[in-house]
Every structure is written in C-alpha cells, then in structure tokens.
Amino acid sequence: MKLHAARLILVLFVLPFALLAVVETGVAGRKTKDRVIVVSGPKQQRRIGSYYYVREHGHGSEYAAAKRAFGAPTSRKVNLSTSCELSWRSLGLEIEFFAYGSTHCSGSSLIKGSTMYSSRVTSPIWRTDLGLRVRDSESRLRSLYPGAKHGSRSAPFSPREWWTLATEKGHILLVANVKAGRVTSFEIISPFAE
C-alpha cells in the first residue's frame, strides 16, 4: 500500500512539470515558426512571421494585419511625405507603410488605408526560409544563397554591403546587409514597391 501511495505522489509531483515542458515545447516551436521570412513562391504565402504582407487584407487592413501579428508598434514616424515607419524594438523589426490621409502616421490614416512598402529585420530571432539569420557569416550566406549577387540598393549602404538574395522578374524581394563579414540586417521589399 505504501509503495502504491509513493508512486501516486511521485506521478502527481512529476506530471505538472511534464505537461509544462510539453506546452513550452509547443510554444517555442510556434514562436520559431512565427519568426521565418518567406519572400518567394505564391504571393499569398509570403510572410514575415505570421504577417502575410502580400495577401489581400481588404482596404486599410495591412496595418491591422501587422498589429495582429506583432502587437502594437513601439514607435512610429513619418518617413517620406506619404509613408510611415512603424517599429517593434523587441522584435528588431521595422515596417514602412504607404499610408493615405493627411496625417500619414496616425492610427486613423493607417486604418483607412495602408500598404507595406518594405520591412527591415535586425534581430537574430528571425531567419529566412533557407535558415539565414542576422549575425550569420558571409560565407554561410553564400552557401545558402549561391546565386546571391551584390545588390544595388541606394544610400546609406554602399552596393558592396548589400547582397540580393531573392528577386522576381527583375524586382528585388530580399536583400541582406553585410558588414565586417556578418549579416547585420535583412530588407524585405514588397512586390508593389518598385
């Protein structure tokens, strides 16, 4: 009887920890999946984490879709006369939207109508669908993307710092900034941007 009670106590003690480990593994797996950048293939599958940036979200819902995927932005600023740059600092993510309305970075202008122009990723929590991360070496970049070419992106970076990783019909979709032999950021460009 005492042995049976000891086993029961052991099971009751260990079971919550085992269940917690299973839940954490599932959450970690989901978080890893949600930190993948996909820029090629069918347009409706292109995404930054769980934000599908080429899908038809309906009028004005690009901003809403990004907010659902990443939460409220940490900051926002007018970048050009018609664009707004939103930042999620903890994610190392910036998204530039073309926004319509007189105050381009107001929530109401973003909700009324906005389209993603480009995004910039600076944190190693993100990876491309081929496995390249910020901080990876240039040699790893060249191994994963043997067709990568030095880009021709404009200032503030010199062309030799940019590697074009993915294009479609001459349109640049994904570039990596490389400094001192390491990837320092990715830029994801909407097919509608050029």
Considering the domain boundaries, does residue 21 fall inside one? no
pLDDT at 15: 47
pLDDT at 27: 37
> How far apart are alpha carbons 184 and 123 in whole angstroms?
8
> How far apart are alpha carbons 113 and 108 in whole angstroms?
9
Considering the domain boundaries, does residue 8 fall inside one? no
Q: What is the largest CA-CA distance in the chain?
A: 79
- Tokens describing residue 184: 């320092």
Nearest to 166 by CA among 133, 188, 135, 183: 188
pLDDT at 140: 97
| Mode of pairing for the β-strands spanning 51-52 and 182-189 | unpaired
pLDDT at 176: 95
Domain limits at 179? Answer: 36-189
Considering the domain boundaries, does residue 109 fall inside one? yes
Considering the domain boundaries, does residue 13 fall inside one? no
pLDDT at 7: 61
**Number of domains forming the structure of the chain:** 1
Nearest to 173 by CA among 190, 148, 152: 190
The answer to whether the beta carbons of residues 103 and 114 sit under 8 Å apart is no
Considering the domain boundaries, does residue 158 fall inside one? yes
- Tokens describing residue 177: 């900034």
pTM of the model: 0.74
Considering the domain boundaries, does residue 56 fall inside one? yes
> How far apart are alpha carbons 70 and 67 in whole angstroms?
5
**CATH number (domain holding residue 121):** 2.60.460
Cβ density class 160-184: b for 16+ within 10 Å, e for less: ebbbbbbbeeeebbbbbbbeeeebe
Considering the domain boundaries, does residue 60 fall inside one? yes
Considering the domain boundaries, does residue 173 fall inside one? yes
pLDDT means per 10 residues, the chain with 194 residues, are 59 47 38 79 89 69 85 84 84 85 63 76 96 96 93 52 88 92 93 60
